Structure formats: C-alpha cells, structure tokens
Structure 1
Amino acid sequence: MSVSNPTLITFVIYIVAMVLIGFMAYRSTNNLSDYILGGRSLGSVVTALSAGASDMSGWLLMGLPGAIYVSGLSESWIAIGLVTGAYLNWLFVAGRLRVQTEHNGDALTLPDYFASRFEDKSGLLRIISAIVILVFFTIYCASGIVAGARLFESTFGMPYETALWAGAAATIAYTFVGGFLAVSWTDTVQATLMIFALILTPIIVLLATGGVDTTFLAIEAQDPSNFDMLKGTTFIGIISLMGWGLGYFGQPHILARFMAADSVKSIAKARRISMTWMILCLAGTVAVGFFGIAYFSAHPEVAGPVTENPERVFIELAKLLFNPWIAGVLLSAILAAVMSTLSCQLLVCSSALTEDFYKAFLRKNASQKELVWVGRAMVLVVALIAILLAANPDNRVLGLVSYAWAGFGAAFGPVVLISVLWKGMTRNGALAGIVVGAITVIVWKHFELLGLYEIIPGFIFASIAILAVSAMGKGPSKMMVERFDAAEKDFKLNQ
C-alpha cells in the first residue's frame, strides 16, 4: 500500500479532523455533566444530526445495502419500520424526556432518570438498567468495530486483526478526550458526509449502468422478483422487519441526544431536520444495494468481493466508479457512520459505569475532575472488551446490531415511553418492564421461536408487565405525581 494512495490520505485527513474536534471539545469539558451530556447545550441542528448519525451505524452503508443486494426490495420493510419508529419517538418521547429528566434530579443517564423518576432508594433499578446497558452496548460496540475492520480490510488490504485496531483507534481517541461535545460535533460532520455519499453514489451507479430504464431491465433480467416487496416474505417476516421501529424508544445513545437539547423548543425543528436526513439516507442506502444488482450482473469480473460478502457492495462500488480522491471521501462516510455510533455507545457505557456505579455506590463525594477521568478510563475498558468480542472475522454487522437493538428496544422502550406518558407508573412496574423485556429477548433469540424478531414479543411482554405490576401494587407517591404533572405542564407550555 503506497503512502501516496489518495484514499489513505483522505482517511488520514478525516481522522485527524475528528480527533482535533475532540481536543476542541476537551476545552469545553469542565465537569461530568459536560462530559456525559454536553451541559445540555445542543441546538436543534446538532441535536437532529447527532441523533441521526448516532442511530445509523455501519449497517446503514454495509448491512442494509448488502441485504437489498441479496434479496431485492423485500428487505426494505426494515427502512419503513425505522422511519415510522423514529418519527413516533421524536413526537412522543423527545420533548417529554427532555423535561422529565430535568424535573427528576437533572438526570444525566437513563438509569439516573429511572432512579429519580420512580424514587428508587434501593438502587436496584439503577443497577439493573446499568447492567442491561453494559451487556447490550458491548455487543453493539462490537458491531461497530467489525464494520470499521471490514472497511480497513477491504480498502487497504490489511489483515482483519490489524484492521480491528486501526478502525477503532480514532473513535476511542476523540471520545476519550472530548466526551459528549466531541461526539455530538463530530456526529454533525459525519451526518453531512453520510448523506453526501448516499445521494451521490446511487446517481453515479445509475449513470454507469445506462440510466433508469436500462438499470431496471438489468435487475429484472437477473431476477424479476427483486422488485417484489413481498418476495420470500411471510406476514411474520414483514412484521419482524417493521418491528425494528419499536427499538427507537429504548436506545440510550439516541435518547441521550434528546436529554442534551438546549430546550424543548429546539425539538420540533430538530425532528423535521432529522427525519428529512433519515429518509434521504435510507432511500440512498436501498438504492445503492438495488442498483448494485444491475452493476455487478453487467460486470461479473469485478463481482468477486461482493459475492463473497454482500455487505461490501457500497465499498466496491465506491472503489470501482469514482476517482480515488472522491472514493476516499465516500469510504470515509462508512467510517463516519461507524465512528458516530461507536463513540455514542462508548460514552453511554462509560456514563453508566461512572454515574450509576462509581459515583452512586463507590465514591458519592468524588470531585467532578475525578469523575471525568473515571469516565475516560471506562471508555478504554469498554472499547477493549468490544474489540475482543469483534475478533471473530465471521461476524456479520447486521446480526450483531439486530440483537443489541432488540435488547434495548424491549428492555427500555416500554419503560421510557410509558414513564413519560402515564403518571400512574410505579417503580416496581419499571423494574418488571426492564427485566421481562431483557429476558424475553435473550430467551426468544436463543430458541428462535416462530421466526419472529425478538424485539416484538419483548416489547409486548414488557409493556404488559409494566401496566400489570403498576396497577397491582401501591400507586406512585404524591411527589412523583406532582413532578410528572409539573414536567408535562412545562412540556406543553414550551413545545
């Protein structure tokens, strides 16, 4: 690999820029609130784009295009489910969670919010929710590291083991140094890069395959059922793909963006920006995988890497169709997708360990400076464990993401959604919801029951557990009800 390789130079410039943003954010990080939530100072544009970028990890440019390339448009149900879920999350949860966390002890993390919202003096709710975060996020982090490793492996011909470390190093560096502000500012840059790549690439692939009519004829010639949205699907299959949308209500790295907004008034504008960005990105992703069918059927001599691993379809198209400098920018978009999500996940894990274990149980009077440095140390610990989990070169990005996504969606989704909409929810109801949701996902995944995506039974059973246990036991305290009403009034006045 020559040092003059334009793609390598582009990557290096991009990575250096992200790390420099990390050092700029370092200067604005004075306490744990700054490190974990950026001092609740994000405007609507940064809130919108960082929520989008932190959501759309490497699967956006690798896992989903690969699935479309293999199966055609029948895999696009997942995109429809995601758009629906994300919109409902912005509509019902975003603004309310912003005010509820402020009214409930100015909570910095989800476990912190649960403990304050439900007056949990035992610490059990905090501990169990923090454990769920650590278990599923470590798997999620591993998916990001696999995606980064695949990128470095196929772009620079690195061995997978070396590519693991190369892909993770820069993300760990700027998250370690700059915390939440670094993650949010870099997310904004990365979201811009991702949408540029996902609008430009399908257009160039269309031109390379002879325009819309020729491309569609080539896709139909390869397999007419590629156009069939119901190809190879069942009712359960479609419900499973659409069920991905339920996951949004429980993703800590996305919910953290809502909690960090500068005010509820920013949320409506952020929702419009974020949803526009998301729809364009998902449409571009589906188009890359779909048009890739036509390109590689016309050029079978270069289809080898994609046949071996369909998740490389975007990477190979970028390398084959673009000038090396432009290809470097487009491939940096995959790195952007990986880095944006991985950095958020590392930070949420670090927050759980620092705020919900270290500060809550070990060092209640720790100084802000000490807590920030403990947070940084935890970023390194979680990253190392995730790298070890990602060491198997047979890992597939979408498989790892789907498990972690289901875990959070079922364990936290119903608890977050019901906690911001119903004042009658109790501490035992919340505890039952988290435990039932997490266990259902693990058991359902293990036995692969009915072929149904585990998030759906997990979400349903957790919701039932919350409502049943809350109704059976002693109701919420007067103070809990008063705080809920005050937060809801604040939300309605300012939205």
Structure 2
Amino acid sequence: MAVTIFVIVLLLYVVIGGILTRFVKNSDDFYVMGGKGSTLLIVGTLAATYLSATTLLGIAGQSYAEGPLVIAALGSFGAWLGTLLAVIYVGRKMKALGCKTMPDYFEKRFNNKWVSVVATLIMIVGLIGYGVTQFIGAGLVLSEMTNINFELLVVLFTIALIVFTAFGGMYGVVVTDTIMFFTMLAISVVIAPMIIGQAGFDQMKSLSETIPGYWTIAGAENRPLGWSISQFLVWILFFTCIPALVSRVFPAKNDFVILKTAIIGVFFAPFMQLIVFIAAGGMQVLDPNITPTDNAMVVGFMEYTPPAVAGIGLAALMASIMSTASTLFVLVGFALSRDVYEKIFEKDLDEKQRLSTARIGQVVVAVIICIISIFQPSAIYWISIYAGSIFAVGWLPTIVASFEWKRMNSKAALVSMIMGVATFILFGELIRVGVITVPEGVDELMIAICFSVGSLIVAALLTKPNSYELQYYSKMKQTSMAKQTINEFLKKPNGLAEIKKQYKQIIVTAVVVTLISVGIWGYFFIQLGLG
C-alpha cells in the first residue's frame, strides 16, 4: 500500500505540473509567474523549497547520530535568519528594481559584462552543486522503497522533473510547490509526532546517559562551541543570498504579500524542520543502528508507521526533494538562457525563442546534475554546505555593498567575487590535505569571507564608480517595494482603506504566529527537559 500511495501522489504532481504549462503565455509568465503570486502561493513555495533533501535526509541524519541540538540550536537558527533576510532584505530590494533573476541585478547595478559573467557562473556552479543533493536524496528514498537500481531511479526522476520545469517555468514550480507544501506538512503534523510518541520523551531524554552530549549543542561528537557557531554563520550567510530562496519573492503580487510571507513562511520552515530533527532523535531510541544515517527518517516511515501513513510520508519526503530540485532546474535554465545566451552573447530573441532557449537550458542542466548525482560524490549534508558557501563568499559581500555603499563599483565587485570563491576553494583544499591547520571552529568559509570583504573594500577605495553606477545607486535608493505597492493601491477605489486593512492583517498575523511559536517550542522544551 505504501508504494501505491507514493506512486499515485508523485504522478499527481507530474500531471498537475503538465497542466500548468497552459498558463505560460509569455516569458514573463515563465520567469516570474506574471507577478501574480498570492500569499498562499509564495508561502507555499518558500517553505517547500526550504524543506529539502538536505533537511529530511542529510541534517536529519546528523540529528540522529549526534543529537538534534547540534544543528537546531545554531545551524537552523542561522538558516531561519538567513531566510528572513533573503525575503525582506535581498529579494524585496531586487524585486522593487524589476529583477526577474538574481543575475539581472548584477547587470542592472553595474552594467558590466564581466561582472554579469562571473556572477552567473557562480550561480550555475552553486545551484548545480546544491541540486546534486536533491538527486542523491531522491535516489536514496526510491531505492530504499523499491530495491530498484539507484542509477536508473535517478534517470527516471530527472525525466519526471523536466515535465513541469522545462515547460511550466516558474508558474509550474510555484503552484506545484504549494501543493507539495501541504503534503509535506503531513510529516511534521502527523508522522514525526507518531515517531516521537513511539520513542517516548522519557526514553529520548535518557539518550544522554548512553550517548554523552546527545542533548547538548556540543553533540555526541563533543564538537567545540566554535564549530557550532561556524555552522550558524555558514547557514545565515548563504541562505541570505541563495537564489532558491531569494527568487521566491520575484513572483509576489505586491509588498504586502512579501511581508506576510516573511512572517508565515519563516514560521513554517522551522516548524516543519525542527520536529523532524526531534523525530530523528526518537529514531535513535527505536533503532540505534541505522546506516547510513541519512536514511534515519526513511526507516522511520517504512518501519514505524502504518503502510498508508508510510506512503504519504514518503511521498511528502519526495515532494520536498522535487520542490527544491525543480526550483534549481528553473533557475539554472534561466541563467543559461536569459543571463548567458540572451544578455552576455547579446542575442535579440522574440517571446517564442526565449521560452525555447530557457527550456533547452533546463534540460541540459538536468542531464548534468543527473550524471554527477549517479556517482554520489559525498555525503548530502557536506555537498549542500560546500555549494551554498559559494554564494556566501562569492555574492553576499558584493550584494550588500552594492545596496548600501555609494562607492561600490564593478571593479570591486569582480575582485570580491573572484577572491572569495578562489580563497574558499584554495584554503578548503589546503586544510583538507593538512598543508595548513586552523583553530577549532574556523573553516575556509570564514577565511574566504574575510578575503572577499577585505578585497572589496580595498578595491573600492582604490577605484571610483562611473557615472552609470552613481546614477543607478541614486535610483536604487529612491526605489522600494513599499512605495510601489502604496502607489498601486492608491489608484484603486478605497485604496487607502485597503492599505490600512492590509497593515492590520500583517500585525495580527505577526502576533498570532509569535504566540503559536512560543506554545509549540515551549512544549517541546519542557517535555525534553531542556529547561
């Protein structure tokens, strides 16, 4: 029964994705859903993208082995803050400037071909690396269920995803993400609590007696506090500018939708995630010998829930993988077609040609990710960290400086991006082979971010922005989503009353979500004896 339910739900995703292709009439629909995204759709796609294979397999495996607090206390908290910044700070500013992709911003801000080339390459490499984690996760889940060859499953999964990414674009991804989001809620609301209930809070608390440090932020490996802090920094830095999250803002209808998404979406992300981590701790009680640890939650679904529930749970787990992977397909397809082929090579395409090149780009990327995934180059968690770090060291300093510093220019951007990525790779390899050693809690990302920021400041002080960069900086400072939305509403009958109504809804939403959060996390805090 579990396999039957699983297959039915997956086929439903693919069919819906195929149907949605009829709504794509032009490139604007394909790239940003025509700017029609409601609060429900943007919350759904944000939360669905956040909850990926990295969470349900990689980090759940870490939580199972070392204890939930190792990642949850600092790593996940950093990710939540990064997500909030991605929506409110980065995504909101870029949408106000009319960006359809993140490389759009680099082109608008600097009007420099080489800045656009380097920024786009960073995006493609980073997203391909992050996409690999989703495919490995998909293969693990399906092979665990069916005993079918891992390589064949990855190929089939690639074909299924292409159905609603290469044809539906952002329209297809956002709507299917939202449907998948409700499926994923089943894991956190029903299935994870079932596993926790079977394990029992008392038995879970007693794990610290047999596994020292299990319920501490040092974890079972007794990692130093510096390591946990470094994880906090890693996640907050790359979540702030990772395209998979920032791009969720671009289809939003208006600024009210973005603000509500920041409140509701950032609540659901940790809600769905942390309960999974606690359930992974429960699996340590129920089955302490799971290998590889990435399969902890898969074993939980298959062996500790009824068949029908297991089928729903595995379909929900697969939904989390599909939602993130489909987003990456679309974004890299955008990068290859819009940001490389159209702009860098200066191709003048009509609407039909734009759609064709975007779809071809996504198919190419899907094949590349599929091939890499088949070889399973590393553990899921560490691949995601490495890929995500590329954005932290390559993009974040340039984005923040370009938002806030009038002196920022294309030369400083190029130096910072190249220096950040180069030093990250160089020091990472030197540390791994033992050529150099660093203090506990210091890793290549911290070193590289210092080089990226330092080189940016020096280059900006030694050079000057040109007239275009100064003019665009001034224009950017005068542009905001709030102003655009207010002006849009004031054009409507009773526009002022509608604005007041929307602001009241935002305040009420914030208060309600805060109270619910305190209740939920207070309950687990007390039950697990963490107070």
Q: TM-score, normalised by structure 1?
A: 0.90
Q: Determine which of 21, 28, 31 is the counterpart of 1:26.
A: 21
Contact 1:85 1:247 in 2 (8 A): yes
Aligned-residue offset at 1:362: 4.1
Determine whether 1:375 maps to 2:358: yes
Equivalent pairs counted in the alignment come to 473
Measured at CA, do residues 56 and 432 of structure 1 come closer, stay the same or move farther in structure 2, by a change above 3 Å?
farther
- Structure-2 residue corresponding to 1:10: 5
Give the corresponding residue for 1:300.
none
Q: 1:274 to 1:476 in 2, by over 3 A?
A: farther
Question: Is the 8 Å Cα contact of residues 50 and 269 (structure 2) preserved in structure 1?
Answer: no
| Paired residue secondary structure (1:27) | helix
Kept after mapping to 1: 8 A contact 2:413/2:456: yes
CA distance in 1, matches of 2:462, 2:484: 30
Partner of 1:471: 461
Cα 1:490–1:79 shift into 2, 3 Å: closer
Q: Partner residue of 1:179?
A: 169
- Given the alignment of the two structures, is residue 284 of structure 1 paired with residue 275 of structure 2, yes or no? yes
Counterparts in 2 of 1:460 and 1:90: CA distance versus 1, 3 Å: farther
| 1:362-384 Cα shifts (integer Å, max 9, x gaps) | 46221111111111111111111
Q: 1:276 to 1:56 in 2, by over 3 A?
A: same
- The answer (yes or no) to whether the contact 1:423–1:484 under 8 Å persists in 2 is no
Secondary structure in 1 aligned to 2:230? helix
Match of 1:274 in 2: 265
2:302 is matched by which residue type in structure 1?
A: K
Tell me if the contact between 1:68 and 1:290 (Cα under 8 Å) persists in the aligned partners. yes
- Distance (Å, rounded) in 1 between the aligned partners of 2:457 and 2:184: 40
Which residue of the partner structure matches residue 478 of structure 2? Answer: 486
Instruction: String of CA shifts for 1:130-174, please: whole Å, max 9, x gaps.
Output: 111222222222111111000111011112112212333322221
AA of the residue aligned to 2:408: M
**Aligned equivalents of 2:241 and 2:169: distance in 1?**
22
In the TM superposition, what is the alpha-carbon distance from 1:489 to its structure 2 partner? 8.3
Partner of 1:425: 408
Q: CA 1:59/1:423 → structure 2, altered by over 3 Å: closer, same or farther?
A: same
Paired position in structure 2 for 1:48 = 43
Q: Which residue of 1 aligns with 2:316?
A: 333
1:151 to 141, 144, 152: 141
| Structure 1 residues 225-264: aligned runs within 5 Å | 225-231=213-219, 232-243=222-233, 244-264=235-255
How far off is 1:417 after superposition? 2.7
1:350 Cα deviation from its structure 2 partner: 0.7
Q: Specify whether residues 415 and 43 from structure 1 end up closer, same or farther in structure 2 by C-alpha distance, changes over 3 A only.
A: farther
1:151 counterpart SS class = helix
Q: CA deviation at 1:7?
A: 2.3
* CA positional deviation for 1:124: 0.9
Among residues 312, 327, 330, which one is paired with 1:344 in the alignment? 327
Residue number among 44, 68, 87 corresponding to 1:90 in the alignment: 87
Secondary structure of the structure 2 residue equivalent to 1:225: coil
Cα deviation code 1:349-401 (max 9, x no counterpart): 11111012211244622111111111111111111111111112463211211
2:101 to 84, 104, 109: 109
1:226 alignment partner, SS class: coil
Q: Deviations over 1:165-199 (max 9, x none)?
A: 23333222211121111111111122222232023
Q: 1:470 to 1:40 in 2, by over 3 A?
A: farther
Where does residue 3 of structure 1 map in the other structure? none
Q: Is the 8 A contact 1:246 1:455 kept in 2?
A: no
24-33 vs 144-153, which moves further: 24-33
Q: Distance in 2 between matches of 1:361 and 1:246?
A: 28
**Superposed displacement of residue 91, structure 1:** 3.5
2:53 aligned partner: 58
SS at the partner of 1:487?
coil
Relative distance call for 1:131 and 1:285 in structure 2 (3 A) is: same
- 2:70 maps to a residue whose letter is S
Out of 171, 181, 199, the position equivalent to 1:191 is 181
Query: How far apart in 2 are the matches of 1:37 and 1:493?
Result: 17
Contact 2:35 2:253 in 1 (8 A): yes
Q: 1:124 aligns with which of 114, 126, 144?
A: 114
In 2, distance between residues paired with 1:491 and 1:309?
Answer: 52
Deviations along 1:259-282, one digit per CA (max 9) or x if unpaired, are: 222222221111011111012022
Q: Distance in 2 between matches of 1:284 and 1:491?
A: 38
Per the alignment, residue 155 of structure 2 pairs with 165
Task: Name the SS for the 1:39 alignment partner.
Answer: helix
Greater alpha carbon shift after TM alignment, 287-296 vs 72-81: 72-81
Alpha-carbon displacement from aligned partner over 1:219-269 (angstroms, at most 9, x marks no partner): 234314211222412243122211211111221121111222222222111
My pick for the range that moved more, 29-38 or 368-377, is 29-38
Is contact 1:95-1:267 (8 Å) kept? yes
Report the equivalent of 2:493. none
After superposition, give the CA deviation of every residue in 1:398-434 in whole Å (9 maximum; x if it has no partner): 1211111101122112222333333442222222222
Structure 2 counterpart of 1:220, from 197, 208, 212: 208
Give SS of 1:149's match.
Answer: helix
Q: Which residue in the other structure is 2:75 paired with?
A: 78
Residue of structure 1 in register with 2:387 after alignment = 404
Q: Contact conserved, 1:98 with 1:263, CA < 8 A, in 2?
A: no
Judge conservation of contact 2:96–2:481 (CA < 8 Å) in 1.
no
1:369 is paired with a residue of what secondary structure? Answer: helix
The residue identity in structure 1 corresponding to 2:76 is A
2:198 to 189, 208, 224: 208
For residue 487 of structure 1, what is the amino acid of its counterpart? T
